[in-house]
Homo-oligomer: A and B are copies of this chain.
Amino acid sequence: MFKKRENVAEIEEGSLLSPRFDNDGLIPVITMCAKTKEILMHGYMNAEALKKTIETKEAHYFSRSRKQIWHKGKTSGFTQKVTEIRIDDDQDSIWLTVDIGDGSSCHVGYRSCFYRSIPLGKIDDAKKIEMKFEEKEKLFDPDKVYKDQPNPTKI
């Protein structure tokens, strides 16, 4: 299914898919909302998740916390319909564009996982850096949607 990685010219300039999975068998994935162009999340796929995503046209990831294939939206109902998949020059990262309708993507309840911005400019080493919330309202209540499922965030 995937071409063996043999030389740089083929990887960069060729048209055959030969993704590079890291030592854990994973490739990073950037997920963009087709409608708003905002970044919804950053995840990982293994070879099986990539194959399932291509074939079903619904985003599948590999959950590093649960150590298993993760059909996004299976619990929350917020599936991601894939409209485009791209891969980068050295074929070690993926850009997915998805349609989530009026749904949400973030397990905390916001539409995008990237709901906070970091201020630019000189850092005062004596202080912690205070971020700004760019999304103000949660679109759903995670306690109701995920019930007893463990929170994937690791300290």
Contacts and interface: CB of A to CB of B under 8 A. Distances in A.
A142 B27 CA distance: 26
A90 B154 contact: yes
A123 B153 contact: no
Given A32-B39, A57-B121, A89-B108, A8 B151 contact: yes
Interface string A90-121: 10010100000000001110100111111111
Interface of A: 1-3, 5-8, 11-13, 15-17, 20, 28, 30, 32, 37, 39, 41-42, 51, 54-55, 57, 82, 84-90, 93, 95, 106-108, 110, 113-123, 125, 128-134, 151-155
Contacts of A117: 84-87
A91 to B, nearest CB: 9
A89 B113 contact: yes
Contact of A88 (B3, B42, B86, B151): B42
A114 B129 contact: no
